[in-house]
Structure 1
Amino acid sequence: MGKLQCLCFLFFFLTISCNKIGEQAEVPGKPEGDRLPGTDSLVVEQLIEKSFSHYGQGGVHVDINDSYLAEAEDIARKNDNIYQLARIYNLLGQRYRNRADYGEAMKFHQKALEFATVANKQELLASVYNQIGVVYRRIDDNPMALEMHVKALALAEEAGDSLTISSAINSIGNVNYNLGRYLSSIEYFKRSLAMSEAQKNKLGLAINHNNMGESLLKMGQVDSALHHFFTSLDYNYQINSKVGQSICFNSLGGAYIALDRPHKALEYLQKALHLNEELGDLMQVAISHSKIGETYLGMGELQEAEKHLRESLEIAKGIGVLYQIEEGSRLLSELYEEKAEFGKALDFFKTAAVYRDSIINTKNINHLATQEAILESERQREKINQLNQETIRQKSMLDRQRFYLITALIIVVTISFGIFMIVRQMQLKSRYKNVRHQQRLLRSQMNPHFIFNALSAIQVYILEHDIEKSSRFLTDFARLMRQVLRNSTHDYISLKEEVQILKYYLELQRLRFSESFDYGLHIDDSLKIEHVMVPPMLTQPFIENAIEHGIKPIGSEGQIQIHFKNDKNRVVVEVEDNGIGIDASKEASEKERSHESMAIKITRERLDMLRRDSGGRTELSIRDKKQINPFDRGTIVRIVIPLVEIDQHGKTVSRQKNNVLKTESVSV
């Protein structure tokens, strides 16, 4: 099987599957609170249900906007039922998407999004965002697809809509599959599978088992993949989904080809072909012929291979499926090369190359059509805004009568606000002074536990008669204490001094823990360490946490990397370790957590004060690496502060806002 063919087939399956999950979420059975009261609303629900049934039986041979759905839209419009209109437009978008008309699909999804926003129904918004994400997946815009699916997941979780949550998680797994991140995709499929089991949703179970099988097959775990394919097939039999059965047959065919059992593969591929012919889905019929032809080609049965490949190519040309034309031409080129008919082989090779270029152009056109649909939606929204403004102008005469009352209220509110701001300012000044005292206290004291442990370590080295390490430990300890005490009264010290303090501190900790970890200090060449000024002891609490709560539990081979970077007149400090991570370190004692939280709280207040003094932007973020990569471990602390330098007059100047800072003391 060709890679492109396999991916396109799987992609078709995933979009159909997610579409069906979305449709199940919209079938009648919603609580009455989600519908407008009255008979007309119930009639619309019945018409939508009939459209589901009618379209599901006819597939591609049925008009997208059939009579049932058109009547439902008409009634919903007359009753101004924005909830049902949003559902109808979302369904139309899905149907256009499955016909590969992505521009029209995005137009209807955007209309659905507008109505869903007005209806303010989170579960409906989640469904619309999820379907928009599928459109982006179909045009290979995976970053935008992921953004839409994540947004849908957040809304569905907020609304408690378990069916849409499962669908969104499945969709995120699909994006990971498209990006070749098969392990991550399996994790998402497992989560969606567990939810489908809890919901007893057999369609969801069928979809997720097949998805997991495809990911495992890509990873070469064929036996595990077969187990999931057969499980999916069983569920598809239970719900009588012929589309799902056809997909499973093709997946099983691919697995048996991977096991080098082509005759068994042909058995399932032929079943898929018969089902696709029964369903009348010409695109899938073409794909089935291509898969069968490719299998015969691999077996050396060139006559049978040629018959199926030519049939696939003829159907593909008839319906204009470019990627299938390219696939069929490529395989026929290989076939005629095997038959030593090199003229025909070259002709089909050229045809495949032409269609490969056409596929790239088509993708670009699809992107363009999608963006044009979004722009058209924006233009329509702008027209609505202009009409609203015209209405506002027509009511201006009535608004004038309220002017004086509103003015009086504004004056009262302004005076009240002014009094509140004065009181608030006085409170902030008091808090500002209090925070400065807390900072001084924090900077003037090292963690008592560290000092005690350091002295204990020195005692051990002396008792063991390790004169060299005792001397080095005492020397570094004295230098560190001298630096800490000297800089405790300064608001800023040079980056050179800060780095020196960190080196002393890290060397002491390495000696204390028998050199069970290594560290690295990395400084951008663009940062002049003698002139760049930073708040003292800003990173020390986080380095201490990394050692005590991250690296200490793992025992050995610890790594701490500290980076000072220049980012557009900002200094970015990153402290990264490979310890157990913040989540796993939550089992620390209450006293340690109190110390850690107090250090973080005071650091945030220091950054907030620095932001007010400098007028620049500050940030503090602490993330477990597993949040970024499930297979990584450790913690990343990221601190962003304005770039502050000493000018020729000895004053600290923020380069971000180009203003002189008002500080009490500076160490140069």
Structure 2
Amino acid sequence: MKNSYALLCLVIFCTAFYGCEQKAIDKKLEDRQKALQGFKDASEELKQSSDAAAKLKYWNRQLANPQFNTDSVLVSKIHYNIAGVFYSMSELDSIKNHMQVAWELMENQTGYDADKVQLFSGLGNIANLEQKVHQENYYYNSAAQMLLADSAINLTPKQKITIYFSAAQSSAKLRQFKNAFVLNRKAMELLPLLKDNQKEKFRAYSQIAVCYFKSGGSTDSLYSYIKKMEQLYMENPNKQSENFLYDRKATYFSKVNIADSAFYYSQKRLKLDLEDELQNGARAFSVTTGNLYTSYCDMAGVFIESKQLDSAAYYLKQCENFAKKYPDKIDDESLLLYEQNLVNYSFATKKYADAERQQDILLRRTRFLYELESSRAIAEMSTIFQLQAKDKSILNLNETVVLAQSNLQKNRLWLLVSTLAFLLAVAIISLLYFIQRQRKLKNEAERAQLEQRLLRTQMEPHFIFNTLSALQSFIRFNDNEKALKYLHQFGRLLRSSLESSREGYVKLSEEIDTLENYLSLQQMRYDDAFCYQINYDEEQDVESICIPPMLMQPFVENAILHGINPNGKNGLITVNLNVKEKTVLVTITDNGKGISQEVKPQQHKSLSTTISKERLAIIAKESGVAAGIEIKSEKNKGTVVTLTIPIKMA
């Protein structure tokens, strides 16, 4: 009795203690939310003031407040706001210190994704100020990917748009144009949520225009976005928009080789940049972004192209003066442009030694910044330059060749006739070989297609037989309602199977629907003995990707037959689809008992697996893309089947 009473007291005490502890946690979270809301309101209010000292004083007072300084989340938020004040003051070291503290405090916190997104963006801003392009790209894209993964993150549309724009701009710097286009367009999708979105629209059009220009895309598309920029500028004219508009026009006319227009807009852009520097000094937008340096470089390039070398030398000198005055405001791409102009200028003025030295500098920097393909292109330019730099040697060699030709004048006609006869013979032999090869390839392709169709006609009866056996079992047990539902769904599946059997390739979206229908049928057949998941990237355009039909279904069927306990309720079939450049990687996983390692007599030959392997071999041979099947199994852990299937674009 005493023991029972003691146990009851212990239970009551533990329950009360747990209840008090939970209340304390809830109270702490409630207080934190109130403090965070207070910080947010204070931040909005302080934005109205230009007094940086007053802002710092306020946030330092919060940092010293005993009510806040024991909570990592609140301290992180305070340091973040202090970093924002120093950002407005361009105090780089202070920004870095406070942002680093803010990130270390917030990094391991759960449930504060919005704050982490803002911290990633802030770290990207710091890397941008330091011209650390790869770090900038990492931080901005980390923030953007978090937003893409969870659209419910509690940030304003304007904040999300700014992050997408920053990540897109950073990706374009590293020539990741596909990602830049995606992020720019993601930002544009959010623009209707802003009341006044003219500024953001202009930036979107401007950044997409840059992507088209730098990626060598369509000049028509480039010009269409410039026209959209021009329309917005006419509706809301301002100096910054005017500058960007002139820049995009200058690059467009330079790309289509209209030199007069390119020079005109480059000159107007330079004038605006100089006015900005004159008014605002080191804080000028044209200085902090390096736009003034780029304008000098572009003007030098225009004058070198038009052979006005004195003017070119003047603007090259201006580039040097800017680099001495603002050494940390020049990005690598602009520096490459300047060094390329130096090479062109030295060559145009026939200073070949200087040109060769500058070319070496340019090559070293380019190899560091660009991939091997770009390096090879520059190396080819270097080779051409070196050949041109040796004009005197080439002229001497040509004189020797001319002398030799004069000695062979008497035999020239015979040599010419012999050469023509030899070339004609080679051409005829090559043509015959080409025709024969084309016939052989055509015959092999037709035979491969016929074999593939024959293999598929073997597979589809096998699939229908297995499905009808399930329907038979429902009818046997007099489950009419379930049989009718099953028959209706089977009819839809059979119709899609028959439609796909006429085609060599079907849309990936249709194949996913067919697989979904099949799994639903089997789930009904086995009385919900298993669950299933079909996972793929929803941003992938599955409507434009085509694959051979009925390749995944046999292995899903095997996973159900051999990997699922019909009497259980915890079966799981997972199908993951990952689209690569020329293939789709399909992973089919079950959580069954796995394939037994003991060697037993084969009681039933898996026709579907054999046929699928044969089909993939034919498809791989026809498409020239690697394809295959890999099966891994662990006892009591399940089986994983990996299919590598070539794709075609619709």
TM-score (norm 2): 0.50
Shift of 1:219: 4.3
Measure, in 2, the Cα distance between the counterparts of 1:183 and 1:624: 21
Measure, in 2, the Cα distance between the counterparts of 1:34 and 1:143: 33
Letter in 2 for 1:114: L
- Residue 558 in structure 1 maps to residue 508 in structure 2: no
Measure, in 2, the Cα distance between the counterparts of 1:235 and 1:602: 60
Corresponding residue number in structure 1 for 2:509? 580
Shift of 1:557: 4.2
Measure, in 2, the Cα distance between the counterparts of 1:143 and 1:643: 41
Corresponding residue number in structure 2 for 1:50? 49
Measure, in 1, the Cα distance between the counterparts of 2:151 and 2:100: 17
- Residue 75 in structure 1 maps to residue 75 in structure 2: no
Measure, in 2, the Cα distance between the counterparts of 1:546 and 1:178: 50
Map 1:243-322 → 2, pairs under 5 A: 243-280=240-277, 281-282=286-287, 283-320=290-327, 321=330
Measure, in 2, the Cα distance between the counterparts of 1:175 and 1:598: 50
Cα gap change, 1:634/1:93 in structure 2, threshold over 3 Å: closer, same or farther?
farther
Contact 1:558 1:578 (8 Å CA) reproduced: no
Corresponding residue number in structure 2 for 1:348? 358
Shift of 1:241: 5.7
Corresponding residue number in structure 1 for 2:420? none
Corresponding residue number in structure 2 for 1:210? 206
Measure, in 2, the Cα distance between the counterparts of 1:345 and 1:193: 45
Q: Please say which structure displays the higher CA radius of gyration.
A: 2
Contact 1:306 1:332 (8 Å CA) reproduced: no
Letter in 2 for 1:289: Y
Counterpart pick for 2:193 among 186, 190, 198? 198
- Residue 335 in structure 1 maps to residue 345 in structure 2: yes
Measure, in 1, the Cα distance between the counterparts of 2:312 and 2:493: 64
Cα gap change, 1:178/1:327 in structure 2, threshold over 3 Å: closer, same or farther?
closer
Shift of 1:111: 1.0
Cα gap change, 1:596/1:50 in structure 2, threshold over 3 Å: closer, same or farther?
farther
Measure, in 1, the Cα distance between the counterparts of 2:596 and 2:37: 68
Contact 1:129 1:148 (8 Å CA) reproduced: yes
Tell me the SS of whatever aligns to 2:588: strand
Measure, in 1, the Cα distance between the counterparts of 2:313 and 2:36: 59
Shift of 1:287: 1.2
Cα gap change, 1:322/1:259 in structure 2, threshold over 3 Å: closer, same or farther?
closer
Counterpart pick for 1:639 among 571, 589, 592? 589
Shift of 1:196: 0.9
Tell me the SS of whatever aligns to 2:257: coil
- Stretch of structure 1 that moved more, 337-346 or 216-225: 216-225
Cα gap change, 1:243/1:129 in structure 2, threshold over 3 Å: closer, same or farther?
same
Cα gap change, 1:348/1:607 in structure 2, threshold over 3 Å: closer, same or farther?
same
Measure, in 2, the Cα distance between the counterparts of 1:203 and 1:289: 26
Contact 2:106 2:116 (8 Å CA) reproduced: no
Shift of 1:77: 2.0
Cα gap change, 1:128/1:310 in structure 2, threshold over 3 Å: closer, same or farther?
same
Corresponding residue number in structure 1 for 2:521? 595
- Residue 222 in structure 1 maps to residue 216 in structure 2: no
Map 1:461-476 → 2, pairs under 5 A: none
Cα gap change, 1:660/1:183 in structure 2, threshold over 3 Å: closer, same or farther?
closer
Greater RCO structure (CA 8 Å; 6+ sep): 1
Query: Structure 2: where are the runs of 5+ without partners?
Result: 1-32, 69-73, 278-285, 371-451, 464-489, 533-558, 566-570, 602-630, 639-650
- Stretch of structure 1 that moved more, 255-264 or 142-151: 142-151
Map 1:462-611 → 2, pairs under 5 A: 506-509=456-459, 553=499, 556-559=502-505, 579-581=508-510, 594-595=520-521, 597-598=523-524, 602=529, 604=531
Measure, in 1, the Cα distance between the counterparts of 2:582 and 2:367: 39
Corresponding residue number in structure 2 for 1:186? 181
Measure, in 2, the Cα distance between the counterparts of 1:86 and 1:550: 59
Letter in 1 for 2:267: Q
Tell me the SS of whatever aligns to 1:639: strand
Shift of 1:208: 1.1
Measure, in 2, the Cα distance between the counterparts of 1:624 and 1:657: 19
Corresponding residue number in structure 1 for 2:133? 139
Corresponding residue number in structure 2 for 1:88? 81
Cα gap change, 1:105/1:249 in structure 2, threshold over 3 Å: closer, same or farther?
farther
Q: How many residues align?
A: 413
Letter in 2 for 1:638: I
Corresponding residue number in structure 2 for 1:125? 116
Cα gap change, 1:553/1:330 in structure 2, threshold over 3 Å: closer, same or farther?
same
Shift of 1:322: 6.7
Letter in 2 for 1:195: L
Measure, in 2, the Cα distance between the counterparts of 1:624 and 1:172: 27
Measure, in 2, the Cα distance between the counterparts of 1:234 and 1:579: 41
Tell me the SS of whatever aligns to 1:140: helix
Corresponding residue number in structure 2 for 1:498? none
CA RMSD of aligned residues (A): 5.3
Contact 1:162 1:195 (8 Å CA) reproduced: yes
Letter in 2 for 1:208: A
Measure, in 2, the Cα distance between the counterparts of 1:122 and 1:170: 19
Letter in 2 for 1:580: S
Tell me the SS of whatever aligns to 2:261: helix
Corresponding residue number in structure 2 for 1:622? 575
Letter in 2 for 1:646: Q
Cα gap change, 1:37/1:557 in structure 2, threshold over 3 Å: closer, same or farther?
closer
Shift of 1:583: 6.5
Shift of 1:150: 1.1
Measure, in 2, the Cα distance between the counterparts of 1:346 and 1:634: 48
Measure, in 2, the Cα distance between the counterparts of 1:636 and 1:658: 19
Map 1:434-445 → 2, pairs under 5 A: none
Shift of 1:309: 2.0
Contact 1:90 1:109 (8 Å CA) reproduced: no
Query: Structure 1: where are the runs of 5+ without partners?
Result: 1-32, 55-65, 361-501, 514-543, 560-576, 613-617, 663-668
- After superposition, what is the alpha-carbon deviation per residue over 1:246-274, rounded to whole angstroms, capped at 9, x for unaligned? 33322221111112112212222223222
Cα gap change, 1:93/1:505 in structure 2, threshold over 3 Å: closer, same or farther?
farther
Contact 2:304 2:348 (8 Å CA) reproduced: no
Q: Give % identity.
A: 9
Tell me the SS of whatever aligns to 1:638: strand
Contact 1:583 1:624 (8 Å CA) reproduced: no
Contact 2:594 2:636 (8 Å CA) reproduced: no
